[in-house]
Amino acid sequence: MLLEMAGPLSQLFYGRLFQLDPSVRPMFRGDMRAQGRKLMDMLAVLVEGLDHPEQHLPLLRALGQRHAGYGVKPEHYEMVRAALGWAFAQALQLEFTGDVKDAWLALIEEVNTAMKAGAAELATPAEGQ
């Protein structure tokens, strides 16, 4: 189901994100359709691995480091959570209630936490150095 609505969902997400904070728009310089596909591909991988979320932690931490290099700050993650939650609510409508809503919001929070941890590793020198 996620891949079927990947295009509209990513458009809803990015539109809402830029509405919430227009200052983040310059961080996105490339093809927004390609960017949306990357986001949806990542979400699909995370959903497929829900039984073993720990396997994605290194990938998410590295993604957080990469995003820090793009200028993403810790406060941006709340906007992403809000925009993605809103986009899912719009796309899924009546199906985005109860357990479905709670599961998506929990996944988004786990992703945000791991990515912020990765970004924080860049700011903290490794022990012994």
Residues 6+ apart with CB under 8 A from 109: 81
User: Which tens digits make up the pLDDT trace of 9-65?
Assistant: 999 999 999 999 999 999 998 899 999 999 999 999 999 998 998 899 999 999 999
Measured between alpha carbons, how far is 61 from 87 in angstroms, rounded to an integer? 24
Please say if the pLDDT value at position 66 is more than 60.
yes
Domains in the chain, number: 1
Does residue 62 form part of some domain? yes
pTM, two decimal places: 0.86
Does residue 128 form part of some domain? no
Does residue 16 form part of some domain? yes
Q: Residue 129's pLDDT is what?
A: 47
pLDDT band at 124 (very low <50, low <70, confident <90, very high): low
Measured between alpha carbons, how far is 122 from 115 in angstroms, rounded to an integer? 11
Measured between alpha carbons, how far is 59 from 49 in angstroms, rounded to an integer? 12
- Containing structural domain, residue 24: 6-122
Measured between alpha carbons, how far is 24 from 86 in angstroms, rounded to an integer? 17
Does residue 80 form part of some domain? yes
